[in-house]
Chains A and B, each alone.
Chain A
């Protein structure tokens, strides 16, 4: 049974004054508007950060009430930074089962209402406790992985600067992105260190915002052709390879197999560039190029809207801002917009038939790959 994305509602990302449910409802309202407010019988929603006693627990029924969906059924998911992709996955399974006809998928995050140290601690909940006990943070572990990748493949720092420049250039074309100003490589290199080799402009920023999609049984320009999830060892030191994410490789293999497609048929990609060097690792793990070969994609402009396979035309996490749960649903939403010809000024040069969105949960311990395209799987 086929399932297709029929409407995309992307909220404004950035520092917002509204609360979590307001942000979720903003995106949901846009997605529901796109289908003329037809009835929805399933709501799948997710958020990650702690919102105090009852605050997070009431997220699902609170959102259902706000949207007037009391007659629908609902599921709440938490997949850390892959929450949006996990919510999408759950909705696809539910529709494929035949039990529901139309699902609203929503993911939202409110981050800027608390100090950075508190956000850092809450995000570290997605890491292994023994590594957090050493004072490890997400950027610290990302820095160690990045350093290993750059050393192993002899990648100069100018390449990861170029990844950030690309993200901010694309983001400046996306009215929903947090950052509307492009940056130069010199600005990236001059930004303050976070955990070297990562500098501030190599890292996605804390942000508020929501994303929403409506899915229906049936086919269309953005049919779900394939979807896959993969795990990896939660403890970083137990991983066989530090320069590739097994969770992406497993998810990609399952997604390509279920879609009966190969990477050669992918025409647009959204990857989870929480940290600039990860964009390189992701392109390799998705099979778009071999290990250590992704630098060339940024050096030669193959990632541009008129390039070989446009990458992150939305600006990705670095350009859009990273409201944790919402980002991975925004990535799927961007692919759907490009496929549906609804991306406006940021449409890639040739309207794609097949696109892929990849999502990372935690330090790549639970990743997702979603392939959308015309027709049926």
Chain B
């Protein structure tokens, strides 16, 4: 993968080592509050993506959402700019205040979207 310079902050539980998207401050697996932050590249793989034909109040069409898998199998939900990305395609994700935005990474490799299982996010 090419490095676009975008990075994202993820969280690691100091107690059970689970890796997850930063939240209100406790581990989603063991509820420990001993959370460390670490940085990864903002490149991720699209797990699923859809366009909302009926966007929520205050949002305009086209509104595309995708589940994206980051390093360490951490997932996030992002708003996608530039159309519905193919499952398995690589996107670049950046944080925008309370939410995440993603756009296609044209030179990124396309992975096989099936085959792999639902993977745990432990250290």
Q: Which of A185-212 contact B (CB under 8 A)?
A: 192-198
Q: Which of A123-170 contact B (CB under 8 A)?
A: 124, 130-137, 139-140, 143-145, 147-148, 151-152, 154
A238 adjacent to chain B (CB < 8 Å): yes
Residues of B within 8 Å of A194, CB to CB, are: 53-54
Given contacts A134-B79, A144-B67, A151-B113, contact A235 B28 (CB under 8 A): yes
Q: Is the CB of B54 within 8 A of A152?
A: no
Residues of A within 8 Å of B48, CB to CB, are: 143-145, 147-148, 151, 242
**12 A–B contact pairs at CB < 8 A?**
A117-B57, A121-B57, A131-B77, A134-B99, A137-B56, A144-B48, A144-B67, A193-B51, A235-B23, A237-B67, A237-B75, A237-B77
Partner of A140, one of B21, B47, B50, B120: B50
Partner of A238, one of B28, B53, B59: B28
Given contacts A143-B50, A144-B65, A147-B87, contact A233 B56 (CB under 8 A): no
Cα of A152 to Cα of B48 in the assembled complex, Å: 11
B53-68: contact bitstring with A at CB < 8 Å (1 yes, 0 no)? 1111111000101110
Given contacts A147-B48, A148-B47, A243-B118, contact A133 B98 (CB under 8 A): yes
Cα of A287 to Cα of B45 in the assembled complex, Å: 31
Cα of A278 to Cα of B16 in the assembled complex, Å: 32
In the complex, what residue of chain B is closest to A200 when comparing beta carbons? B53
Residues of A within 8 Å of B75, CB to CB, are: 237
Known A-B contacts: A135-B79, A144-B49, A151-B48. Give 15 more (CB < 8 A): A117-B56, A121-B56, A134-B78, A134-B79, A135-B52, A136-B56, A137-B56, A140-B50, A140-B65, A145-B48, A235-B28, A237-B67, A242-B67, A242-B118, A243-B118
Q: Is the CB of B77 within 8 A of A136?
A: yes
Residues of A within 8 Å of B23, CB to CB, are: 130, 235, 238
Residues of B within 8 Å of A299, CB to CB, are: none
Residues of A within 8 Å of B50, CB to CB, are: 140, 143-144, 147, 195-198
A71 adjacent to chain B (CB < 8 Å): no
| Minimal beta-carbon separation of B29 from chain A (angstroms) | 8
Q: Is the CB of B99 within 8 A of A139?
A: no
Cα of A120 to Cα of B58 in the assembled complex, Å: 12
In the complex, what residue of chain B is closest to A154 when comparing beta carbons? B114
Q: Is the CB of B98 within 8 A of A130?
A: yes
Q: What is the total of A-B residue contacts with beta carbons within 8 Å?
A: 108
A227-247: contact bitstring with B at CB < 8 Å (1 yes, 0 no)? 000000101111011110000
Cα of A145 to Cα of B118 in the assembled complex, Å: 12
Cα of A121 to Cα of B58 in the assembled complex, Å: 10
Interface residue tally for chain B (C-beta within 8 Å): 36
Residues of B within 8 Å of A65, CB to CB, are: none
Q: Contact residues of B with A, CB < 8 Å?
A: 20-21, 23, 28, 47-59, 63, 65-67, 74-79, 87, 98-100, 113-114, 118, 120-121
Q: Contact residues of A with B, CB < 8 Å?
A: 116-118, 120-121, 124, 130-137, 139-140, 143-145, 147-148, 151-152, 154, 192-198, 233, 235-238, 240-243
Residues of A within 8 Å of B120, CB to CB, are: 240
Q: Is the CB of B28 within 8 A of A152?
A: no
Cα of A132 to Cα of B58 in the assembled complex, Å: 12
| Minimal beta-carbon separation of A125 from chain B (angstroms) | 12
Given contacts A133-B99, A136-B65, A242-B47, contact A236 B77 (CB under 8 A): yes
Q: Is the CB of A137 within 8 A of B28?
A: no
Cα of A147 to Cα of B50 in the assembled complex, Å: 9
Given contacts A140-B50, A147-B48, A148-B48, contact A135 B114 (CB under 8 A): no
Cα of A254 to Cα of B113 in the assembled complex, Å: 34
Partner of B52, one of A116, A139, A151, A154: A139
Cα of A118 to Cα of B58 in the assembled complex, Å: 11
In the complex, what residue of chain A is closest to B98 when comparing beta carbons? A133
Cα of A236 to Cα of B120 in the assembled complex, Å: 14
Q: Is the CB of B28 within 8 A of A124?
A: no
Partner of A137, one of B52, B66, B121: B52
The list of the 5 closest CB pairs from A to B, nearest first, reads A241-B118, A238-B28, A237-B75, A147-B48, A143-B50
| Minimal beta-carbon separation of A243 from chain B (angstroms) | 7
In the complex, what residue of chain A is closest to B67 when comparing beta carbons? A144
Q: Is the CB of B67 within 8 A of A148?
A: yes
